[in-house]
Structure 1
Amino acid sequence: MRLKLVAVAVAALAPVVAMLVYNEVALRHQRNEEVRASAAQAARQASSEVERIIEGLHALLVSVAAMPSVRQLDVPACNAALEAVVESIPNIRTIFVVGLDGQPICGSMAFPEGVIFSDRDYFQQMLTTKAFVVGTYTQSRLVDRPVLPLAMPLMEGDVMKAVIVSGIRVDWLQNRITERGVATGNAVTIADGNGTIVARVPSPERFVGTAMPDAYQRLIHADQPDVIELMSEDGTERILGYRPIALPSNPLYVSAGFSKEEAFAPINRATTMNTLAIIGGALFAFLAAIFIGNRFILVPISRIADVMEKWRGGQTTARTGMKGPDELGVVGATFDRLLDELDERRRQSQEAEEERSLLIRELAHRVKNGFTLVQAIARQTFSRSDPERYNSFAERLAALAGTYDLILSREGSASSVREIVSAALRAHVASQAERIRLDGPEVVLPADIALPLSLVVHELATNATKYGSLGSEYGTVTIEWKHDDGRVLLIWTEADGPPVSIPTKKGFGSILIERAFPAQAQARSRSDYRPGGLVFEVIFLIGEPVAKGEVDPSG
């Protein structure tokens, strides 16, 4: 029962849990979409800022190319002009003009002896494209610091006469990204076309100047910007929005990653609280179910069951004593009323049984008195004139009285075949018990069959004593009976007696045997006078009458 109560509590909690789970899944899905959108937006913003920086420097180089001293390649005037420009722009270290052979011409600072730039990738690319070029992460040969080179051609009409070169300070770019601020767990990465990281937040000292892992190199030259989930190099699982170099006017790869742990922290906290609340509610519900079940369900049921067990044990005065408006209280009160009614019926039944027993004893007494009176009348009438007939009548009367005693002593209207036969043979069994054998199952006969059978057996025993096997020294009688489908077949077999012959006339005994049973018994009998002794068979019904056409025992 406790398990059933717990199951009820679980069933009550199931919709709440299902709703919370659904809300949890929906909130996580919604939050995931929000974080992906935020990552994509952050990547766009960072990329736009880098583009503005590059565009600003491009415009600066265009202005430098328009300066007369630069266009005329007047070295002293060019040096002075470029030095003045660099002093007012903090995000670059140098601006210088290089010949098409890679030899420096003029610049914002003095050139080291023998320095040349013709081997630089950005220089070769600019000579090929004759367009503005943003180079890759490079260690400057002028200031020995990492820079991001910028180069554009100095044109004279359609002829390129020199190359103007500058470079974005990597430390300045890193400071600019750091100043923007990045939430805990998030990351912003800027890389060049070779996959070398030029700026990163957080941990720039660990990553700037290193190449991105091979697994992420494909993102640098992807066809379209996208948002993915990945495990970053620092071991943080992030939702990453990225913008590849392949985009128009996008000179650098830019990505912004949001930590899933931080992004989902509020939902995780809410999930933890909800889980604890569900567990607490479930524990409370289970304890309440157990307590309430014990108090209001199990205890009343146990009380009712205990009273039933006491009734089975004979304590008929046991009651639940339950009352109240609740259902089990009503059941208990109804059960008590039922027990009161059963107790009253039992008392009335006992009184009726006592009255019936008294009546039966009175009837037995009156029947015995009637038999005694009949026997006395018979003795006074013809015991002296015809002693033989009187003795035969007295024996028959005694057999009938014995059967009545058997029936009345059982306080019912039925007796078994064995008891009826034994009572009818009592006068003969007393002296010849070892010569009479009874064999058959336990079959109970109603009174209207028991009395005729008793008289028939008595007549057979009397004839066997006078004329048959019981009249000789070694003769025997076997009485067998069988029961099948409401029928009883009784067979009387005499053996080792004097030779018998078919009687020439019917006496009272023969007539009694033929007519003793009532019509509803459908009794049929057969007598076989064999040389070794009489074999008598009688078959009769003790239940519903059988259909016509049943086999007669006489064949």
Structure 2
Amino acid sequence: MRLKLVGVAVAALAPVVAMSGYNEYAMRQERAEEVRAQAAQAAKQASSEVERIIEGLRSLLTAVTAMPAVRQLDVPLCNDALKTLGGSVPNIRTLFVLKPDGSPVCGSAEFPAGVTFGDRDYFKDALATKDFVVGRYTKSRFSGSPVLPLAMPIIDGGKTIAVVVSGVRLDWLQTRIAERGVAPGNAVTIADGDGTILARVPLPEKFVGTVIPDAYQSLVHANAPGVVQLTSQDGTERILGYRPIALPGSPLYVSAGFSTNEAFAPINRASIANLVGIGAGAIVSLILAMFIGGHFLLGPISRIAEVMQNWRDGKTKARTLMKPTDELHAVGASLDNLLDELETRRLHAEKAEEERSLLVRELAHRVKNGFALVQAIAHQSFKKSDAEKYGSFSQRLTALAGTYDLILSGEGRATSIMGVLETSLRAHATDERRIALEGPDVVLPTDLALPLSLVTHELATNATKYGALSSDEGKVEVEWMVDAGRVAIRWAETNGPQVAVPARKGFGTVLIERAFPSKARAVHAFHFEPSGLVFELTFLLEEPIDRVEVCA
């Protein structure tokens, strides 16, 4: 009962828990959409800033290609102009002009001896496309520092006469990204067309110069910007907005990631607070349920249960003595009234049973007296004239009296199948060789022994009148077995007169069909074989099987 009270308290809290869970789910869904939108916007802003930087440098290189000293490849004037210009632009490493074969012409710094740039991919692309080119992550041949190379061809009469080359300082780009401010747990990544990381916040020292793993390369070369949730290279789970290099005017890959732990931290804190509140409410509810239930529910119920147990133990005077002040006490008062009524009925039933037993004993006594009278008449009439036939008749009459005694004494004790069959058949065959009984010695309760006696007596009576026992050579074999608590009996007649299917159902057949109680689940079948009647009967035992030995 206490568990049921706990169940009631839990059921009362269930709507609160369900509503809280739904609200948290809704808030998390809303927050997820909000973070996804923020990630996409952050990536777009970072990409726009990178595009402005690249576009500014493109304008710078375009202006350089228009300078007369550069177009005329006037080395002294070109060197002076590029040194002056390079010193005023902090985001580039160097600025120089190359011939179509990759050899230097002039620049903002002195060239190392024998240096050439003809093998650089960005230089080759500028010659091939005759357009502005943003290269890949490269180590500068001037300073050895990493740069993002830029190249702009100088076209004269449709022919490329030289290429202006510069490079974005990656340390400057890293500082620029860091200055934008990145919240703890978030990340911003800029990579070139090969997926090599040019700048990253946080942990630039760990990732700059490394290639984005193959698992994420699809983002670098995607056809459109998007938002995904993934675990970043640093092991942080993030909602990532990305801008691929395939976009027009976007020569670099840019992504901005928001840490899911940081993004959902306020909701997590609110969830913990809600859980603590619900837990405290549950504890208080359980304490109140136990106290109130114990006083108003468990006490009366325990009293009612105690009275019922005393009644089962034979203490029929036990009562709850409750007054109908509330629902449970009304049940207790009703139970007292019911017990009073049952006690009255029990006393009446005992009196009726005594009267019935007296009548049964009187009937049994009169039946025995009737058989005794018939036996006395037979003794006086036939003993002297035919002593042998009188002896056989007397034995059958005595057996028949024993069978009727068993039928009338419904108060008898349980008996075995063998005992029931022997008693029932004793009146129908004085020669034991004509009736064979075989099967385990199974003890039957009275309510099964009596029906079996009736059925056997009816079968034996029919066999005596019309069947195997009506002729001198006829025999009856009765076999039985027990399997899984079910008794199967087979009655087989042989060497008697030929049998036929009866035209109508007689009283004996009806008696056999209705003899056993319904709980025995009795099933029977008649087989009128050429050799004689075969009757099969199965019924269920009420009590465990008590096997002693096989009797033949």
Q: TM above 0.5, one fold?
A: yes
2:95 is aligned with 1:112: no
2:202 is aligned with 1:259: no
Q: SS of 2:25's equivalent?
A: helix
**Distance in 2 of aligned mates of 1:411 and 1:110:** 135
Query: Residue type of the partner of 1:174?
Result: Q
1:280 Cα deviation (Å)? Answer: 4.5
Match runs of 1:505-524 below 5 Å: none
Match runs of 1:263-412 below 5 Å: 263-310=263-310, 319-323=319-323, 325-335=325-335
Q: SS of 1:200's equivalent?
A: strand
Match runs of 1:40-79 below 5 Å: 40-79=40-79
TM-score by length of 1: 0.61
Query: Residue type of the partner of 2:328?
Result: L
Deviates more, 1:201-210 or 1:112-121: 112-121
319 and 201 in structure 1: CA distance in 2 versus 1, 3 angstrom threshold? same
Contact between 2:191 and 2:254, CA under 8 Å: does it hold in 1?
yes
Match runs of 1:473-484 below 5 Å: 480=401, 482=404
Query: Residue type of the partner of 1:415?
Result: L
73 and 337 in structure 1: CA distance in 2 versus 1, 3 angstrom threshold? same
1:196 Cα deviation (Å)? Answer: 1.1
**Distance in 2 of aligned mates of 1:125 and 1:247:** 19
Deviates more, 1:312-321 or 1:17-26: 312-321
Match runs of 1:88-99 below 5 Å: 88-99=88-99
Q: SS of 2:166's equivalent?
A: strand
Q: What do the CA deviations read for 1:458-497 (whole angstroms, capped 9, x no partner)?
A: 9x79x99xx999xxxxx999794948999xxxxxxxxxxx
**Distance in 2 of aligned mates of 1:239 and 1:317:** 77
Matched with 1:187 is 187
Partner of residue 415 from structure 1, selected from 321, 345, 358: 358
Percent of pairs with identical residues? 62
Structure 1 gaps of 5+ residues are 354-409, 425-437, 440-453, 470-474, 487-548
1:457 Cα deviation (Å)? Answer: 11
Matched with 2:513 is none
Matched with 1:177 is 177
186 and 324 in structure 1: CA distance in 2 versus 1, 3 angstrom threshold? farther
**Distance in 2 of aligned mates of 1:114 and 1:23:** 71
Matched with 1:433 is none
312 and 550 in structure 1: CA distance in 2 versus 1, 3 angstrom threshold? closer
171 and 315 in structure 1: CA distance in 2 versus 1, 3 angstrom threshold? same
Query: Residue type of the partner of 1:167?
Result: G
Matched with 1:235 is 235
338 and 221 in structure 1: CA distance in 2 versus 1, 3 angstrom threshold? closer
Matched with 2:137 is 137
Matched with 1:85 is 85
Matched with 1:447 is none
Matched with 1:442 is none
2:101 is aligned with 1:101: yes
Q: What do the CA deviations read for 1:20-58 (whole angstroms, capped 9, x no partner)?
A: 333333333332222222221111111101000001111
2:68 is aligned with 1:125: no
Matched with 1:395 is none
1:66 Cα deviation (Å)? Answer: 2.6
**Distance in 1 of aligned mates of 2:337 and 2:290:** 30
411 and 227 in structure 1: CA distance in 2 versus 1, 3 angstrom threshold? closer
Q: What do the CA deviations read for 1:311-356 (whole angstroms, capped 9, x no partner)?
A: 566767755354574311333345456678889x79x99xxx9xxx
**Distance in 2 of aligned mates of 1:163 and 1:468:** 155
166 and 324 in structure 1: CA distance in 2 versus 1, 3 angstrom threshold? farther
1:201 Cα deviation (Å)? Answer: 0.7
**Distance in 2 of aligned mates of 1:341 and 1:132:** 109
Q: What do the CA deviations read for 1:390-420 (whole angstroms, capped 9, x no partner)?
A: xxxxxxxxxxxxxxxxxxxx99698346558
Query: Residue type of the partner of 1:113?
Result: A
Matched with 1:159 is 159
1:205 Cα deviation (Å)? Answer: 0.3
Matched with 2:18 is 18
Q: What do the CA deviations read for 1:53-96 (whole angstroms, capped 9, x no partner)?
A: 00111111222223333233332222222222222221112211
**Distance in 2 of aligned mates of 1:201 and 1:235:** 14
**Distance in 1 of aligned mates of 2:339 and 2:357:** 32
Deviates more, 1:280-289 or 1:29-38: 280-289
**Distance in 1 of aligned mates of 2:230 and 2:252:** 21
Matched with 2:388 is none
**Distance in 1 of aligned mates of 2:179 and 2:354:** 115
Contact between 1:421 and 1:457, CA under 8 Å: does it hold in 2?
no
Query: Residue type of the partner of 1:158?
Result: G
412 and 214 in structure 1: CA distance in 2 versus 1, 3 angstrom threshold? closer
Matched with 2:417 is none
Q: What do the CA deviations read for 1:258-288 (whole angstroms, capped 9, x no partner)?
A: 2222222233333344444444444544454
**Distance in 1 of aligned mates of 2:44 and 2:507:** 109
1:297 Cα deviation (Å)? Answer: 1.5
253 and 314 in structure 1: CA distance in 2 versus 1, 3 angstrom threshold? closer
Query: Residue type of the partner of 1:260?
Result: T
1:209 Cα deviation (Å)? Answer: 0.9
Q: What do the CA deviations read for 1:212-262 (whole angstroms, capped 9, x no partner)?
A: 112222322222122222222111222222111111111111111222222
Deviates more, 1:129-138 or 1:226-235: 226-235
Q: SS of 1:188's equivalent?
A: strand
**Distance in 2 of aligned mates of 1:193 and 1:148:** 11
**Distance in 2 of aligned mates of 1:28 and 1:3:** 35
162 and 306 in structure 1: CA distance in 2 versus 1, 3 angstrom threshold? same
Q: SS of 1:20's equivalent?
A: helix
Contact between 1:193 and 1:253, CA under 8 Å: does it hold in 2?
yes
1:123 Cα deviation (Å)? Answer: 0.7
1:107 Cα deviation (Å)? Answer: 1.6
Q: SS of 1:255's equivalent?
A: strand
What count of residue pairs does the alignment treat as equivalent?
400
1:176 Cα deviation (Å)? Answer: 0.6
457 and 197 in structure 1: CA distance in 2 versus 1, 3 angstrom threshold? closer
Query: Residue type of the partner of 1:21?
Result: G
Contact between 2:324 and 2:331, CA under 8 Å: does it hold in 1?
no
Q: SS of 1:165's equivalent?
A: strand
Structure 2 gaps of 5+ residues are 383-390, 409-505, 509-552
Q: SS of 2:45's equivalent?
A: helix
Matched with 1:205 is 205
2:215 is aligned with 1:215: yes
What value does the CA root-mean-square deviation take over the aligned residues? 4.2
159 and 184 in structure 1: CA distance in 2 versus 1, 3 angstrom threshold? same
226 and 324 in structure 1: CA distance in 2 versus 1, 3 angstrom threshold? same
TM-score by length of 2: 0.62
312 and 256 in structure 1: CA distance in 2 versus 1, 3 angstrom threshold? closer
Contact between 2:364 and 2:405, CA under 8 Å: does it hold in 1?
no
- The structure that has the greater radius of gyration is 1
**Distance in 2 of aligned mates of 1:95 and 1:77:** 14
**Distance in 2 of aligned mates of 1:154 and 1:145:** 26
**Distance in 1 of aligned mates of 2:281 and 2:112:** 78
